[in-house]
Chain A
Amino acid sequence: MKFFRLTALALLLAAFFPPAAAGAGSLAVFPLLDLTRDANGVNLPLTGYLRRQAGKLGNTLIPAKEIMAFMVRHRIRTLGRLDSQAIAAAGKELGADLILQGTVCQLDQTPSAAVALSLQLIRTSDGRTIWTTTKALSLDDLQNLLALSDPETMADLFKVYFPTLLASFPGKINPAGPAGVGLTLTSIVLRPEYVQPGRRVECRVIISATSRIKPGSKASIQVGDRVYPATLNEEEYGVTASWPAQRAAGTYQVTLVVKQPSGRRETVILGRYHVDNAPPSLVVHAVGKELDGLVTFSRSLAIITTMPDPELLDRWNVAVFNKDNETIVYQEAAGQVPERINWNGYTSGSIPAPDGVYLIRVSAWDRAGLTASAEQKVALRRTPPKISLDVEKKDRKLRLALANSVSTPLSFWWLRIYQDGGRIVKAAAGDHFPADVTVDLPEHAAGSKFELILVAQDVLGNRTRRKVKDLLALTAKAQMRQQENETESQWLEDF
Chain B
Amino acid sequence: MIHWCYKVAAFFALCLLVACSSATPRLDKMAPLPGNFTCRVAVLPFQDHGNYPRGAELFYKVFSTELVSAAAFQVVQEGDVLDLYRQLTIFPSQEPTLEQLRIIGSRLGVQLFIGGDILRMVERRSGLEVVTELTVVLRLYDGRTGKLLWETYHKRRGRDYRIIMHFGRVNTITGLARRMSKEIINLWIEQGMNQCAK
- A112-B58 CB under 8 A given contacts A81-B77, A129-B68: no
Q: Is B129 an interface residue (CB 8 A)?
A: yes
- A184-B61 CB under 8 A given contacts A106-B173, A112-B130: no
Assess whether B174 is in contact with A140, with CB atoms less than 8 Å apart.
no
- Quote the shortest CB–CB distance from B190 to chain A (angstroms): 21
Chain B residues whose C-beta falls within 8 Å of the C-beta of A186 in the assembled complex: 83
Q: Is B124 an interface residue (CB 8 A)?
A: yes
Mostly, the A contact residues are strand
Assess whether A138 is in contact with B87, with CB atoms less than 8 Å apart.
no
Assess whether B107 is in contact with A116, with CB atoms less than 8 Å apart.
no
Q: Is B74 an interface residue (CB 8 A)?
A: yes
Assess whether A80 is in contact with B75, with CB atoms less than 8 Å apart.
no
- Quote the shortest CB–CB distance from B9 to chain A (angstroms): 39
Assess whether A188 is in contact with B87, with CB atoms less than 8 Å apart.
yes
Pair count A-B, CB < 8 A = 128
Q: Which residues of chain A in 110-139 are interfacial with respect to chain B, using CB atoms and an 8 Å cutoff?
A: 110-112, 114, 116, 118-120, 122, 127-129, 131-134, 136-138
- Quote the shortest CB–CB distance from B165 to chain A (angstroms): 8
- Quote the shortest CB–CB distance from A250 to chain B (angstroms): 14
Complex Cα spacing A79 to B102, Å: 27
Assess whether B65 is in contact with A133, with CB atoms less than 8 Å apart.
yes
- A105-B61 CB under 8 A given contacts A133-B69, A140-B129: yes
Complex Cα spacing A372 to B78, Å: 45
Q: Is B175 an interface residue (CB 8 A)?
A: yes
Q: Is B3 an interface residue (CB 8 A)?
A: no
Q: Is A388 an interface residue (CB 8 A)?
A: no
Complex Cα spacing A136 to B178, Å: 9
Complex Cα spacing A271 to B101, Å: 11
Chain A interface, number of residues (Cβ within 8 angstroms): 52
Assess whether B103 is in contact with A81, with CB atoms less than 8 Å apart.
no
Chain A residues whose C-beta falls within 8 Å of the C-beta of B166 in the assembled complex: 140, 143
Chain B residues whose C-beta falls within 8 Å of the C-beta of A86 in the assembled complex: 79
Please name the residue on chain B nearest to A254 by beta carbon.
B103
Chain A residues whose C-beta falls within 8 Å of the C-beta of B77 in the assembled complex: 81-84, 87, 122, 127, 129
Assess whether A136 is in contact with B40, with CB atoms less than 8 Å apart.
no
Complex Cα spacing A470 to B81, Å: 89
Q: Is A154 an interface residue (CB 8 A)?
A: no
Complex Cα spacing A82 to B68, Å: 16
- A35-B54 CB under 8 A given contacts A111-B123, A134-B65, A268-B109: yes
Please name the residue on chain A nearest to B58 by beta carbon.
A105
Q: Is A141 an interface residue (CB 8 A)?
A: yes
Cross-chain contact of B175 among A35, A116, A255 (Cβ < 8 A): A116
- A116-B172 CB under 8 A given contacts A129-B68, A133-B65, A268-B107: yes
Name B's A-contacting residues (CB within 8 A).
38, 40, 53-54, 57-58, 61-62, 64-66, 68-69, 74-75, 77-80, 82-83, 87, 99, 102-103, 106-109, 123-125, 129-130, 165-166, 169, 171-175, 178
Beyond A87-B77, A255-B106, 10 additional contacts (C-beta under 8 Å) are: A81-B82, A111-B125, A111-B130, A120-B68, A134-B66, A136-B174, A181-B38, A181-B40, A181-B109, A184-B107
- A sample of 14 inter-chain contacts (CB < 8 A) reads A35-B54, A81-B78, A84-B80, A87-B77, A105-B61, A120-B65, A129-B77, A132-B66, A133-B69, A134-B65, A136-B174, A140-B130, A184-B80, A184-B109
